[in-house]
Amino acid sequence: MRVTPRLVVYGLFMLALAMVPTLAQVLAEPFLVTLFTRMIILAVAAVSLNLILGYGGMVSFGHAVYLGIGGYTVGILAEHGTTNGFVQWPLAIGISALYATVVGAICLRTRGVYFIMITLAFAQLVYFVGVGLYAYGGDDGLTIYTRSDFAGLIRMSHKPSFYYLCFAILCIEILIIHRIVHSRFGLVIRASKSNDRRANAIGIPTFRYRLAAFVIAGSFCGLAGAMLATQADYISPAVMHWTRSGDLIVSVVLGGMGSLFGPAVGTIVFLLLEEVLSSLTEYWQLVFGPMLLLLVLFAKRGIDGLLPGGDRG
């Protein structure tokens, strides 16, 4: 990998993230660790969405659903006394993958705006499943009284430890996505985005590869859901609300679609922007809404596109 200014920026960014707990201690602002843990978890979700949205051109408007599926898996297991993380988290991933397989197989038959709408509709369907889960709190959500426990290997209630667990997961995810998008599989996904008809005409059955990418993305986001529920000790249908899926798309585009680190940067900038703007004015979305429009019109490649450093690839 060539060292470009862009890469240096991303390196510094990751380094800064690694320093957050130390910084929080120095500044005596322990709240920073909580804030950034949440950001990193949502970054895991955004990076997973980027695989299908940025590299695969699949505008999924229902990605936040996996946050709910992962979260409820952890929550419901905990409610029934299973707090072993080695059971909870893999199951969260597995159920997300299963859901993605079924829903992806239906959604990926459709194209363009139909795909956007049907992913949105399935997300709404699951959202209302969450609302209807009377035994698990329904609309009010479910409090998780006992945190996931990884055989005592990680001190899950110790905030910096949990932060580093999440940070490590983000790093591993970025590495995996990096390998995937440069592998034969990844090239098929990108070729399908570029010209799906052509890809089929040269003998590549793109549907199954697109579906596999859809499942991989869903699985990672399901993991993010498990992490999110663990961090908050709580899960509710609100994390699956369609505007949360919108937020994830915004994070990806803000950071830069089809860029490896972009969506992680985008998530953190988005959430920091929310923090800053909402501290300035109660009506922060009055500013943020038009900013989105400007982003679309003038900086389509997001933050990644603004950084120097040659071509991407």
Partner 1 sequence: MLLLIEQSLNGLQFGLLLFLLAAGLTLVFGIMDLVNLAHGSLYMMGAYFAATFITWTDSFVLGAVLALGAAFLLGVAIELVAVRTLYARDHLDHVLATFGLLLFFNELVRLVWGPAGRTIQLPGILNTSVELLPGLSYPTYRLVVILVGGLVAFGLYWLVARTRTGMRIRAGASDREMVGALGIDIRKLYTLVFGLGAVLAALAGIMAAPITTVSIGMGERILIVAFVVIVIGGIGSIRGAFVAALMVGMIDTVGRAFLPEILRGFMSVPAANTLAPALASMLVYILMALILFLRPQGLFPARSG
Partner 2 sequence: MAEPILATRGLIKRFGGLVATDQIDLDVAAGSVHALIGPNGAGKTTLIGQLSGEIRPDSGSIRLEGRDITAAPVHKRCRLGLARSFQITSIFPDFTARENVAMAVQSRLGHSFRFWRRAKSDPARTGPADALLAEVGLEDRGNMPAAALSHGEHRQLEIAMALATAPRLLLLDEPMAGMGVEESVRMVETLQRLKGRISILLVEHDMDAVFALADRITVLVYGRAIATGTPAEIRANQEVRAAYLGADEEEG
Residues that bind partner 1 (CB under 8 A): 53, 59, 61, 106, 109-110, 112-114, 116-118, 120-122, 124-125, 128-129, 131-135, 138-139, 242-243, 246, 249-250, 253, 283-286, 288-293, 295-297, 300
Element (H, E) at 84: none
Picked from partner 2, partner 1, none, the partner binding residue 139 (CB below 5 to 8 A depending on kind) is: partner 1
Picked from partner 2, partner 1, none, the partner binding residue 198 (CB below 5 to 8 A depending on kind) is: partner 2
d(CA 157, CA 237): 24
Which of the residues 171 through 190 are near partner 2 (CB under 8 A)?
179-180, 182-188, 190
Q: How many CB atoms lie within 10 A of CB 153?
A: 10
The nearer residue to partner 1, 45 or 250, going by C-beta atoms, is 250
Selected from 200, 275, 296, 306, the binder of partner 2 by CB under 8 A is 200
From the number of C-beta atoms within 10 Å of its C-beta (0-12, 13-18, 19+), residue 141 rates as buried
The whole-angstrom distance between residue 228's C-alpha and the CA centroid of its chain comes to: 11
* Half-sphere CA count of 30, side-chain side, radius 13 A: 4
The nearer residue to partner 1, 145 or 283, going by C-beta atoms, is 283
The whole-angstrom distance between residue 181's C-alpha and the CA centroid of its chain comes to: 17
Picked from partner 1, partner 2, none, the partner binding residue 171 (CB below 5 to 8 A depending on kind) is: none
Judge contact between 221 and 66, C-beta under 8 A.
Answer: yes
The nearer residue to partner 2, 142 or 257, going by C-beta atoms, is 257
d(CA 160, CA 18): 10
Question: Residue 174 Cβ, how far from partner 2 at the closest point, in Å?
Answer: 15
d(CA 166, CA 225): 12
The whole-angstrom distance between residue 176's C-alpha and the CA centroid of its chain comes to: 14
Selected from 151, 202, 294, 297, the binder of partner 2 by CB under 8 A is 202
Task: Of 281, 254, 41, give the one whose Cα is nearest residue 165.
Answer: 41
Residue 195 in the binding site for partner 2 (CB under 8 A) = yes
Task: Of 289, 264, 262, give the one whose Cα is nearest residue 274.
Answer: 289
Selected from 157, 194, 243, 281, the binder of partner 2 by CB under 8 A is 194
The nearer residue to partner 1, 110 or 146, going by C-beta atoms, is 110
Residue 204 in the binding site for partner 2 (CB under 8 A) = yes
d(CA 179, CA 194): 20
Picked from partner 1, partner 2, none, the partner binding residue 204 (CB below 5 to 8 A depending on kind) is: partner 2
The nearer residue to partner 2, 110 or 200, going by C-beta atoms, is 200
From the number of C-beta atoms within 10 Å of its C-beta (0-12, 13-18, 19+), residue 146 rates as exposed
Question: Residue 80 Cβ, how far from partner 2 at the closest point, in Å?
Answer: 35
Residue 209 in the binding site for partner 2 (CB under 8 A) = yes
Residue with tokens 């899950």: 156
Residue 211 in the binding site for partner 2 (CB under 8 A) = no
Contact footprint for partner 2 (CB under 8 A): 179-180, 182-188, 190-191, 194-195, 197-206, 209, 212
